């Protein structure tokens, strides 16, 4: 049987001397899909809502990536971002409908950082835009003055995990047996966070300041998990991070087996006209 296909959400980023828009996803997501997820990575361009119906029937999983850009507040009725806050309207226009269609179809979904924020917004939740400015909250942002690699793998804080949740069920045996109890250490590279949790989401993990750090979709027919941290940066060293991707990979493999047995399974919506290619 051919290996399963996992779609990876792209951002639109300017590259080169003319800042030409490119559809891009970090190499860390490609490597984790090839590695512990055990699938073939398929980069999904941020080309709009039309992609959901075209792509979903051909995919076995959806990996929603992190990004420096932020979900535009008009999608959740929030105030405009402070000047200079990066947005990516093309990504929003692609991922928000894609998430709704994927969840409805039961396609396995793993949502990381911006991806978890998109999952919340796609299902009707709202975001805080700078949690470090809120009273009593921690600064979860990327330290600006430190080099790339260590800051992405360094543990920034603990996360208390609901022992009864999906996340706890997939962590390695004994994950909660040490002195920390039901808490794991995570990295942290975000400014925004869940404000109002979407009605269909269940919080599964919390930072010490109460920030929601993991969610699952309560009524999802398939695997649907979001984490606010970045397991893709340290899965080679961290067994908890690796376990998240392996569990996603098992769900993806099961979906692929069903899709192969019954082609057309997962078809979520009627196809829409494709957009014109950019000039």
Q: Does 31 bind ligand LF53FM6H (CB under 6 A)?
A: no
DSSP labels, 1-47: -PPPEEEEE-EEEEETTTTEEEEE--HHHHHHIIIII-SEEEEE---
Total residues in contact with ligand LF53FM6H, by rule CB under 6 A: 13
Q: Does 66 bind ligand LF53FM6H (CB under 6 A)?
A: yes
The only residue of 30, 51, 70, 227 in contact with ligand LF53FM6H, by rule CB under 6 A: 70
Q: Does 67 bind ligand LF53FM6H (CB under 6 A)?
A: yes
- For the question of residue 50 being annotated catalytic, the response is no
The only residue of 5, 6, 123, 189 in contact with ligand LF53FM6H, by rule CB under 6 A: 189
Q: Does 191 bind ligand LF53FM6H (CB under 6 A)?
A: yes
Our CB check for ligand LF53FM6H shows the closer of 10 and 189 to be 189
- For the question of residue 113 being annotated catalytic, the response is yes
| Cα–Cα distance measured from residue 104 to residue 269, given in angstroms and rounded to the nearest whole number | 10
Cβ count near 155 (within 10 Å): 14
- How far the first Cα of the chain sits from its last, in Å, is 39
Alpha-carbon distances of 130 from 8, 191, 192, 195, rounded to whole Å: 26, 5, 5, 11
Q: In the bound complex, what is the minimum distance in angstroms from residue 190's beta carbon to ligand LF53FM6H?
A: 3
Our CB check for ligand LF53FM6H shows the closer of 211 and 240 to be 211
Cβ count near 170 (within 10 Å): 19
Catalytic residue (one of 113, 118, 190, 204): 113
| Cα–Cα distance measured from residue 67 to residue 23, given in angstroms and rounded to the nearest whole number | 12
Instruction: Copy the structure tokens of residue 263.
Output: 């082609």
- Contacts with 94 (C-beta within 8 Å, 6 or more apart), sequence order: 9, 44, 45, 46, 47, 48, 49, 51
| Cα–Cα distance measured from residue 98 to residue 132, given in angstroms and rounded to the nearest whole number | 30
Q: In the bound complex, what is the minimum distance in angstroms from residue 28's beta carbon to ligand LF53FM6H?
A: 8
Q: In the bound complex, what is the minimum distance in angstroms from residue 16's beta carbon to ligand LF53FM6H?
A: 21
Residue 224 Cα to chain centre, angstroms: 10
Cβ count near 91 (within 10 Å): 26
- For the question of residue 140 being annotated catalytic, the response is no
The only residue of 95, 192, 240, 241 in contact with ligand LF53FM6H, by rule CB under 6 A: 192
Q: Does 91 bind ligand LF53FM6H (CB under 6 A)?
A: no
Q: In the bound complex, what is the minimum distance in angstroms from residue 186's beta carbon to ligand LF53FM6H?
A: 13
Q: In the bound complex, what is the minimum distance in angstroms from residue 277's beta carbon to ligand LF53FM6H?
A: 28
Our CB check for ligand LF53FM6H shows the closer of 68 and 267 to be 68
The only residue of 190, 200, 216, 242 in contact with ligand LF53FM6H, by rule CB under 6 A: 190
Our CB check for ligand LF53FM6H shows the closer of 189 and 247 to be 189
| Cα–Cα distance measured from residue 188 to residue 213, given in angstroms and rounded to the nearest whole number | 10
Residues that bind ligand LF53FM6H (CB under 6 A): 66-70, 113-114, 142, 152, 189-192
Residues designated as active site: 113, 230, 232
């Amino acid at each position: 049987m051919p290996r399963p296909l996992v779609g990876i959400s792209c951002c639109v980023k300017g590259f080169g001397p003319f800042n030409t828009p490119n559809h891009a996803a970090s190499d860390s997501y490609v490597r984790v899909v090839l590695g512990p997820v055990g699938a073939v990575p398929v980069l999904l361009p941020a080309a709009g809502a039309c992609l959901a119906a075209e792509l979903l029937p051909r995919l076995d999983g959806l990996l929603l990536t992190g990004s420096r850009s932020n979900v535009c507040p008009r999608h959740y009725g929030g105030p405009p971002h402070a000047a200079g806050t990066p947005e990516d309207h093309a990504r929003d226009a692609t991922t928000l409908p894609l998430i709704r269609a994927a969840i409805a179809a039961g396609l396995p979904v793993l949502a990381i950082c911006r991806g978890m924020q998109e999952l919340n917004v796609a299902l009707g939740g709202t975001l805080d835009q700078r949690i470090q400015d809120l009273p009593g909250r921690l600064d979860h942002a990327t330290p600006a003055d430190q080099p790339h690699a260590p800051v992405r793998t360094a543990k920034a804080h603990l996360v208390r995990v609901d022992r009864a949740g999906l996340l706890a069920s997939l962590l390695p045996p004994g994950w909660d047996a040490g002195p920390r109890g039901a808490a794991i250490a995570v990295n942290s590279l975000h400014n925004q966070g869940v404000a109002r949790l979407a009605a269909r989401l269940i919080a599964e993990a919390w930072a010490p300041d109460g920030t929601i750090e993991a969610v699952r979709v309560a009524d999802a027919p398939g695997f649907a998990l979001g984490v606010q941290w970045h397991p893709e940066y340290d899965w080679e060293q961290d067994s908890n991070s690796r376990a998240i991707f392996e569990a996603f990979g098992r769900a993806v493999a099961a979906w692929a087996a069903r899709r192969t047995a019954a082609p057309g399974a997962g078809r979520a919506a009627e196809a829409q006209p494709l957009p014109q290619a950019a000039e």
